[in-house]
């Protein structure tokens, strides 16, 4: 019996993942040390400005009423209105949303756009819900957070398992309550409602632009370079599709249903079509199924974790062979794993830089909505490339100056700018 109890305890210990908010605070602490932050400013930056928890009664298709829990965390607005996505996932927790809102704050600062950081989430399983149930849940949530969002207050956007349709429902709900159509209240909308051209691929495209710069720094020839993507969703699939136009070859991919690899490489466009048809990358012709750990530790030049947070734990990090890790996901690498990767000379493009393309184009969408002036996709992509490339070099310069990894460099840049704004504003009253 004692042996069985020990086995159960060991299994439970293995399943416990680090608290993402604790990870975020540890990253902040490290940056604060390099910046020699005033303790009071550090405390302000270590705490969200506002946390809203809402109960969401929804009438299901069965006729029964189910109550969901939703969150909106507004972290810091010293540099501009709160900005951040809304995710639907059964694993959503308040600490996760707090961490994501903190990372959004630093991300907007690193990109040097005039936004603060926020994040939202609803504990639900959208894969088990009908379109009607999702619409009723979304509109209920939109009404619940309406008092604290707005074009100059807080501008939500899509995230995990939400999309342009979700944003359209929130836009309509908010505009109905306000009595006036207000497209600038939300980004990631359909084009017909004021969405920006290029927004659908912005996160993946921005990650590619940072990878191009990282390849130059690390003398990696993208033509013929091998890469793998963990999480073949919107960001991951677009990253793969765009990166292969530079001559890189996709060797492995995964989604929530499994991981695959091919010794000869896979065409990203064909894999996207296969997933749209079957619902998963698994079963792609010419591929073989592998474990997620094997995928992350493939012998490739570039690895992109594009799934959920805490994917790269210390035991995974020890076996990563990629020269460059481009974090399309939010918080995929734990601080302990970071140290291992840095020690092994793996060049990590941190999430708050690598996946900032989405929020950069969200900013461009917001500006277009406010001005009622819309740009071509070529203009949007050009502005995205200019902004994210500039951000990459700001971060790289900071990492070289302080002799630290790119994540710490990004935190030094991002936290430093927010801290300067907080100090300049002062404390009211």
| Local mean pLDDT, 10-residue blocks, the chain (429 residues) | 42 59 91 96 98 98 98 98 97 95 96 98 97 98 98 95 96 98 97 95 97 97 97 95 98 96 96 96 96 97 92 95 95 90 96 95 98 96 98 98 94 98 95
Question: Residue 187's Cα: distance from chain center in Å?
Answer: 15
- What pLDDT is recorded for position 310? 85
pLDDT at 13: 40
| Domains identified in the chain and CATH numbers | 49-181 (3.40.50.10860), 202-356+402-407 (3.40.50.720)
Confidence at residue 17, expressed as pLDDT on a 0 to 100 scale: 67
Tell me whether strands 50-59 and 65-76 are parallel, antiparallel or unpaired: antiparallel
Query: φ, ψ for residue 374 (rounded to 5)?
Result: -120, 140
pLDDT for residue 9:
42
Provide CB contacts within 8 A for 125, sequence distance 6+.
Answer: 89, 90
The residues annotated with a catalytic role in the active site are 119
SS3 per residue for the chain: CHHHHHHHHHHHHHHCCCCHHHHHHHHHHHHHHHHCCCHHHHHHHCCCCEEEEEEEEEECCCCCEEEEEEEEEEEECCCCCEEEEEEEECCCCHHHHHHHHHHHHHHHHHCCCCCCEEEEEEECCHHHCCHHHHHHHHHHHHHHHHHHCECCCEEEEECCCCCHHHHHHHHHHHHHHHCCCCHHHCCCCCHHHCCCCCHHHHHHHHHHHHHHHHHHHCCCCCCCCEEEEECCCHHHHHHHHHHHHHCCEEEEEEECCEEEEEEEEECHHHHHHHHHHHCCCCCCCCCEEECHHHHHCCCCCEEEECCCCCCECHHHHCCCCCCEEECCCCCCECHHHHHHHHHCCCEEECHHHHCCHHHHHHHHHHHHHHHCCCCCHHHHHHHHHHHHHHHHHHHHHHHHHHCCCHHHHHHHHHHHHHHHHHHHHCCCC
**pTM, rounded to two decimals:** 0.90
- Contact status, residue 205 vs residue 198, Cβ threshold 8 Å: yes
How far, in Å, CA of 227 to CA of 296, rounded?
Answer: 10
Distance, in Å, from the CA atom of 182 to the CA atom of 178, rounded to the nearest integer, reads: 8
């Amino acid at each position: 019996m004692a042996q069985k109890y020990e086995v159960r305890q060991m299994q439970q210990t293995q399943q416990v993942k680090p608290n993402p908010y604790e990870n975020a605070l540890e990253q902040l602490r490290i940056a604060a040390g390099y910046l020699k932050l005033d303790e009071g400013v550090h405390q302000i930056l270590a705490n969200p400005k506002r946390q809203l928890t809402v109960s969401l009664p929804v009438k299901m298709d069965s006729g029964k009423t189910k109550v969901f829990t939703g969150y909106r965390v507004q972290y810091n607005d010293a540099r501009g209105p709160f900005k951040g996505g809304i995710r639907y996932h059964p694993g959503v927790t308040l600490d996760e949303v707090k961490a994501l809102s903190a990372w959004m704050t630093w991300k907007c600062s690193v990109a040097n756009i005039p936004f603060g950081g926020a994040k939202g989430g609803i504990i639900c399983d959208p894969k088990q819900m009908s379109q009607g149930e999702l619409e009723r849940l979304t509109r209920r949530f939109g009404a619940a957070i309406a008092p604290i969002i707005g074009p100059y207050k807080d501008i939500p956007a899509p995230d995990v398992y939400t999309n342009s349709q979700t944003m359209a429902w929130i836009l309509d709900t908010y505009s109905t309550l306000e009595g006036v159509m207000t497209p600038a209240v939300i980004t990631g909308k359909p084009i017909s409602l004021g969405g920006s051209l290029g927004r659908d691929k912005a996160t993946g495209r921005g990650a590619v632009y940072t990878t191009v710069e990282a390849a130059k720094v690390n003398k990696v020839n993208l033509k013929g370079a091998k890469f793998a993507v963990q999480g073949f969703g919107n960001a991951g699939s677009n990253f793969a599709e765009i990166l292969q136009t530079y001559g890189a070859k996709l060797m492995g991919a995964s989604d929530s249903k499994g991981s695959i690899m091919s010794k000869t490489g896979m065409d990203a466009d064909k894999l996207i079509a296969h997933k749209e048809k079957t619902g998963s990358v698994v079963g792609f012709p010419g591929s073989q199924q592998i474990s997620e750990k094997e995928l992350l530790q493939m012998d490739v030049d570039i690895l992109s974790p594009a799934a959920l947070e805490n994917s790269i734990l210390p035991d995974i990090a020890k076996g990563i062979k990629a020269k460059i890790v481009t974090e399309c996901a939010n918080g995929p690498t734990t601080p302990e794993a970071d140290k291992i990767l840095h020690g092994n000379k793996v060049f990590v493009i941190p999430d708050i830089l690598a996946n900032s393309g989405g929020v950069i184009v969200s900013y461009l969408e917001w500006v277009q909505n406010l001005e009622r002036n819309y740009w071509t996709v070529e203009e949007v992509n050009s502005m995205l490339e200019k902004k994210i490339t500039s951000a990459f070099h700001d971060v790289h310069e900071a990492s070289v100056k302080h002799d630290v990894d790119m994540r710490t460099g990004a935190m030094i840049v991002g936290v430093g700018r927010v801290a300067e704004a907080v100090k300049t504003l002062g404390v009211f009253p």
